[in-house]
Structure 1
Amino acid sequence: MKKVSDLFSRHSRKRILCQSFFLGAIATVGVILNAFSLSLKADAQTPLPIVNNTEIDSYAQAVLAMEPARQNAFEEIKKLIGNGEIPKIVCNDSNSFNGLPKKAQDIAVSYCTRAQKIVADNGLSFDQFNKITLELQNNNMLKRQVYDSLLRLQQTPESR
């Protein structure tokens, strides 16, 4: 009898894994977007600035670096809350922490602090990170560039 894993080629498993990771990364971007206060105003007359390749790579590196911390914080908070629903946590809104137990609040604050540092360590300001995140929502070309950068950064050296 064949195993389920035998039904998929290595290539298709890798593609599924990459697509799953990309979706997780985009979810992380959504969380981080809420983490920083946004002061952007859309002006229909003014096009958004074009993001260069260095910024795209920095953005992708920040997202990849944040993902394990986000997953870890989520799992720790989930353990503390049990079967209860985890409220939406917005790093720049301390009221969003109010529904959490004290220990879970500490975990959320720690994650938010770490996420802010990761963005800065990857050479982006909070404004740059947020602008890219906003642009991703409506710009399929940028979405593809970030996706390609995420894939490239995740490749092992021997597969490059």
Structure 2
Amino acid sequence: MKKTSNFFFRPSRKRILCRSFFFGAIATAGVISNAFSLSSKADAQTPPPIVNNTEINSYAQAVLAMEPARQNAFEEIKKLIGNGEIPKIVCNDSNSINGLPRKAQDIAVNYCTHSQKIVEDNGLSIDQFNKITLELQNNNMLKRQVYNTLLRLQKTPESP
């Protein structure tokens, strides 16, 4: 007979997959945010951006669309580097890209270019995407909204 505690506290594979995908998506968003912030200015007087449901939906769609390309680029770079540690790659930091082998540089640049297009195709500017990504780091309510939107979008079958 199973223990009751195991029954209630054992995370399901689906739940673990959703959690890991969410955190992977947020990590992707962070990398993209760093990649496209050509000049970030801190302004203490500016209130945090207000994000509406349309922007949350666009943001989540962009993150979901970027994830397969991010995983693919990561795997390709990993194969090229071999057993070495893969450095943090930031698109607007030429040092992070220049430190890679030539083929890996091409993969990273292609990924960054493709991700920028995905963001714009989903109705957000790079600045909007970056602001949402930064806001996610400090706003638990927004984080929950984005998480729920990601889950909803993954469950909803795409219309032809």
Q: Shared topology, TM-score over 0.5?
A: yes
Moved more, 14-23 or 133-142: 14-23
Provide TM-score, normalisation by structure 2.
0.87
Counterpart Cα distance in 1 of 2:45 and 2:93: 31
How far off is 1:13 after superposition?
2.3
User: Contact 2:49/2:135 (CA < 8 Å) preserved in 1?
Assistant: no
Moved more, 12-21 or 98-107: 12-21
Aligned to 2:84: 84
How far off is 1:38 after superposition?
4.7
Aligned to 2:70: 70
Moved more, 55-64 or 26-35: 26-35
Residues 53-87 of structure 1 deviation map (CA, whole Å, 9 limit, x = unaligned)? 00000000000000000000000000000011112
How far off is 1:156 after superposition?
4.3
Aligned to 1:34: 34
How far off is 1:15 after superposition?
1.6
Matched AA of 1:58: S
Secondary structure of 2:12 counterpart? helix
Matched AA of 1:31: V
Matched AA of 1:24: G
User: Contact 2:38/2:92 (CA < 8 Å) preserved in 1?
Assistant: no
Question: Which consecutive unaligned segments of at least 5 residues does structure 1 have?
Answer: 1-6
CA RMSD between the two structures:
1.7
Aligned to 1:103: 103
Moved more, 98-107 or 37-46: 37-46
Identity score, percent: 87
User: Contact 1:38/1:127 (CA < 8 Å) preserved in 2?
Assistant: no
Counterpart Cα distance in 2 of 1:109 and 1:23: 23
How far off is 1:12 after superposition?
2.6
Paired residues, what number?
149
